[in-house]
Amino acid sequence: MITGGQSYVSAPPAFSADGRLLLVCSGRAVSVFSTATAMLVSELEGHEGDVTAVVVVAPPAQATAAAKLASYCWTAGLDGVLIYWDFLAAEVVRKVQVGLPVHSMVVPNICRTSKGAEVPTPFAFISVEDTSKPASEAKALRGQMKIYDLTKGRQVGGLLAETRKPENIVASSSGEFLGIANKRKLHIWSIPTKDFKPDKIRKIKLRHTKNLTTLAFHPTERTVAGGDVTGRILIWRCFGKSKFSESSVKSKEDEGRDGVRGDDDADTCTTWHWHSSSVKFLKFSSDGAYLFSGGLEGVIVVWQLDTGKRRYKPRLGSPLLFFVDSPDSSISCVSCTNNQVYLLKMPNMEVMRSIAGIKLPIASRNLGGAGRAVYGFDYTNRLVAIPTEDYCIQFYNLFDNTEISEMQVCERNFQPNDDITMYISLVSLSIDGNLMCTVDVKLPEEELGGLVTLKFWNHGSRAGHYSLSTIIYEPHSDAGVSSVAFRPGRNMAVSSSFGGNFKVWVQSLSSQSSDEKKCSGWRCQSVGSYKKKPMTSAVFSADGSVLAVAAENVITLWDPDNNALVGVIAETLSPVTNLSFVGTSVFLMSLCQSSKPQIALWNVSNLSMQWSYSIYAEAACCSPDGSEFAVLALLSCPDGETLTQQDGVILLFDAESPNPIASWSVKKASGGSISFVKGDVSLDANADSSRDKEAMLLVYVNGSHEYAIFDPRKSEVVVSKNTHKKIQAEESAPIGYASIYGDLQKLESKKEVSDVPFIPSDRPWETIFSGSSHVLPPLTKLCSAFLSSLLENRPVGNE
C-alpha cells in the first residue's frame, strides 16, 4: 500500500543547525527537505500517531567544530512517545514513553551542575491531553503541561498548568522563559537554565480583554508580544520585573504603567492593530529590532519595534499559520493553510522555493451540492485533480506524492479573507487524460449576477498540463451542471443539468490554412430531455455506444450519435446522484444519496435490477476493464465526533454477486472519494505476467485529502516504506573559496579537439605516418610504437 497526501502545515517546521535542511511534520513521519532545492531528502518514520512537534537540538556554544555538525532532533506525537533522532542518518537513538497524546513540545537549553561543572541536560516541556477526562464535559481540564527528564526518561515535578484543551508552548531563544496563550491571559514561566530544579520555576499572568491566540518572546530583552482574535498585537515590556527578579521586591509604582491591566507584572503595554482578523503567528527577528506577524490576510507584516512602522510581504495567496527562521537568519519559512511552505530569503523576504503538498479541503464544502467531492482522477497518468480556493486546479501525482502543476481556471483575484463569490463545482477528465472539463460557478449577489461557465481543455505536452479550448457561458441557461462525462475513444462529451435537459458536445477541428496548426473547439451537437425532469447524472458505456442519463429517479438509455431514447429502466427509491457502467459488462451501477439511500446494480440488456442495498455511500467507482466496482459507505457517527471524523468502509463487489468480495475499514470517510487507477508494474516484483502488468489499483482519498493506494485483489494490505518517492540525495556543502565567493565559472574551450585513439598494428610503419599532420598522435607515442614493432618478442624458457 502506498500512502501520501499528509499535511505539511499541521505543526511548525524546524531548520537544522546549519540551515541546509528543513524538518516538516507530515502525518506520522517527519519529512526532511533540502532548503537549496526544496526536494525531499529523507523521512523519519517511527511514530504510531501524527507527529505534532519537532525540535532540533542546538549544539552547545563551546562545542567543537565536529560536534556542531551533529544532527539530532526530538519529535513528539499523538501516540504519546518522544523520539530522539539522528535525522541525517534517519535513525532512532532513543524513545521516551509519555502515555498521553502530546500536542506541543519545547526543549530549552538547560544545564545542571555535576562535579562542579555545568552539564547540558535535556528537559522537555510538553502539552498533553488527558484522555481519561470526558470530552463531552465543557469544563473538563483535558490540557496539562508536564516536564520530562529526557536523560532518565521520566516526569519530574508536578503539573505546570491545566487548561481546557492542550495549548501550544512557546519558548524564548535563550530558554529562560516559556509561555502559553490561554483564553484572555498569557501564562509565562521563568525557567532556571543553570542548576535546574522544578521547584525554582516561577509564573506570572498577563491579562487582556480579548482571547489571545499566539505569543512570542524578544531574543534579548524581557519583552513579550501577544496577538488576539480581533487582529490586535500587544507588546508587554519588562514583564516579571518584580516576580522574576532575584530580590522579589514588588514595585510600588501602580500608576503610570501605560496599558497594563490591574496588578500585572509589566512596565508598559503597547497595542498595534493592522490585521482584520485573528493573528496566527508572531516572531521577533534575531536582533530583536523587528516583529513579524501574519494571519488570514495572507500577508506578512514587519513591525519596527521602536517606532511601530510597518512594511509588508503580500500576495502569498493563502492564510498564514507559522513563521520560522533559520539559526543564521538568512532563510525563513512561512506555512500556509493551502498545505504549502514557502522558503524566504531574508531580509527582503523574497520567495526562493516552495514545498507544496496536496491542497487541503475547502472550508465551504457544501457549495459543491449534494455533498459530493469534486475530485477528478486521471486513470492513465495516476493523477488526481483537486480544485483549490484560489480558483485553480492542482494536479497531484499519487505515486510520487508530489505536485505536478497548478492550473488557473478562473482569471480572478483571490483574497483569502473575502467571502466566497466563486468556486469550481466540477472537474471531469477523460479516461486517457487527454481531455478535461471544468465547471465554475459565480454566486449571485443579492440574487443577481449568477453565472455558470463550462470550459473544455486540451492536453498539453506533459501530464497535468492543459490549455483552454472552449468557454461556454450558461451551457444550460440559468440551471446548474450536475455532471460531465467523456465518451471513450471519441471527442464527445455530455453534460447534464438540474434544469431538465442534457447536451451532447463534440469537438470540431478547423484551420485557416494548411500551414497553420489546427485549432479545436467544442459545439453542442444535440439536446435531450425526459419528461422535464432534472438530469442528475450521465455516463457513457465502455465502448461509447450507450449513453445513460439519470432523470431524477429514472434511468434512461440513449443512442449518443442519433440522440434517440432506446430504453428506460425502472425507478429508484430517490434521485440518482451517480451513474457508472461496470467495465465492459452489461451492468450499470447507480448511487442515491438522499434520505432514502441506495446502491443498485442494473442489467442494461433486459432493463431489470440485478440487486441493491439500502446503505449510504459517499462515493462509488467502477473498474474500466474488469467486472468489479467499489463503494465507500459511511458508518454511523459516534457521539462527540464531527462529520469530518466519520469513519467508513470500502466494499468491493463483483457485478455477478451481491456479496462483497472484500472490505476495508477507513477513517475520515465523510468528504472522501475512491477511484481505480492503472497499476504500476515497478511496485510489484512478482508482476511478470501480462495480467499483472495491467492490474488496477484502488485509490482512497479521505476527507482530509490523505490517500492510500492498494491492490484490491490482494487479501493482505501491507504498508510499504514509500520507496517509490523521489528522494534526492543531499548535496554536499561548499567549502573553502566556494563557501565564501561561490563556485568559479567553468571556462570551456571554443574549439573541441577529440582525442585520437592509437592502436598499434602488426605493420605500423605502413599507416603510422598517413593522414593529415594535425591529427597525428603525439611524437612520444609514435616513437615507442615504431620501435616496439621492430623488436621481436621471444618466450622465456624455464631455467
* Predicted pLDDT of residue 531: 93
Euclidean distance between CA atoms 324 and 317, whole angstroms: 18
Integer Rg of the chain from CA: 33
- Grid cell, residue 493, equals 462529451
DSSP label of 261: -
- Grid cell, residue 88, equals 541525517
Over range 668-686, report the average pLDDT: 76
CB-based contact 59:70 (threshold 8 Å): yes
- Grid cell, residue 164, equals 481546557
Neighbours of 170 (CB within 10 A): 22
CA dihedral 425→430→436→438, nearest 10 degrees, is: -10
Over range 472-485, report the average pLDDT: 94
What whole-number percentage of the chain has pLDDT above 70?
A: 81
DSSP 83-96: EEEETTTTEEEEEE
- Label residue 348 exposed, middle or buried (CB < 10 Å: 0-12, 13-18, 19+): exposed
- Grid cell, residue 100, equals 498521553
Per-residue pLDDT for 41 more than 90? yes
* Predicted pLDDT of residue 308: 92
Least confident of 55-59, 72-76, 721-725, 738-742: 721-725
Euclidean distance between CA atoms 541 and 625, whole angstroms: 11
DSSP label of 524: E
CB-based contact 104:53 (threshold 8 Å): yes
Euclidean distance between CA atoms 274 and 272, whole angstroms: 7
Per-residue pLDDT for 201 more than 90? yes
Q: Where is pLDDT greater, at 688 or 648?
A: 648
Q: ∠ CA(168), CA(47), CA(87), 5° rounding?
A: 85
Over range 120-149, report the average pLDDT: 90
* Predicted pLDDT of residue 723: 44
Q: ∠ CA(218), CA(221), CA(227), 5° rounding?
A: 35
Over range 684-692, report the average pLDDT: 47
Per-residue pLDDT for 725 more than 60? no
* Predicted pLDDT of residue 106: 96
Per-residue pLDDT for 664 more than 90? yes
Over range 776-783, report the average pLDDT: 67
* Predicted pLDDT of residue 193: 83
* Predicted pLDDT of residue 697: 92
Determine phi and psi for 782, rounding to 5 degrees: -65, -45
Q: ∠ CA(642), CA(166), CA(356), 5° rounding?
A: 70
Reported as a single tens digit per residue, the pLDDT across 420-457 is 888 999 999 999 999 999 999 998 887 788 899 999 99
Mean pLDDT of the chain: 85
Hunting for cell 486546479 — which residue is that?
A: 393
For residue 357, how many C-alpha atoms fall within 13 Å in the half-sphere facing its CB? 26
Reported as a single tens digit per residue, the pLDDT across 250-262 is 444 455 577 888 8
Residues 6+ apart with CB under 8 A from 491: 435, 506, 507, 520
Hunting for cell 532513543 — which residue is that?
A: 94
What's the pTM value of the predicted model, to 2 decimals? 0.84
* Predicted pLDDT of residue 774: 54
Euclidean distance between CA atoms 413 and 390, whole angstroms: 8
Q: ∠ CA(505), CA(507), CA(511), 5° rounding?
A: 150
Nearest alpha-carbon partner for 634 in 612, 616, 614: 616
Euclidean distance between CA atoms 49 and 670, whole angstroms: 21
Q: Position 259: which residue type?
A: G
Nearest alpha-carbon partner for 279 in 313, 231, 338: 231
Taking the CA atoms of 380, 384, 387 and 392 in sequence, report the sign of the dihedral they define.
negative
Taking the CA atoms of 152, 158, 161 and 165 in sequence, report the sign of the dihedral they define.
positive
CA dihedral 192→195→99→643, nearest 10 degrees, is: 20
Task: Kindly list the structural domains of the chain, giving each domain's residue range(s) and its CATH number in brackets, ordered by start.
Answer: 581-681+694-721 (2.130.10.10)
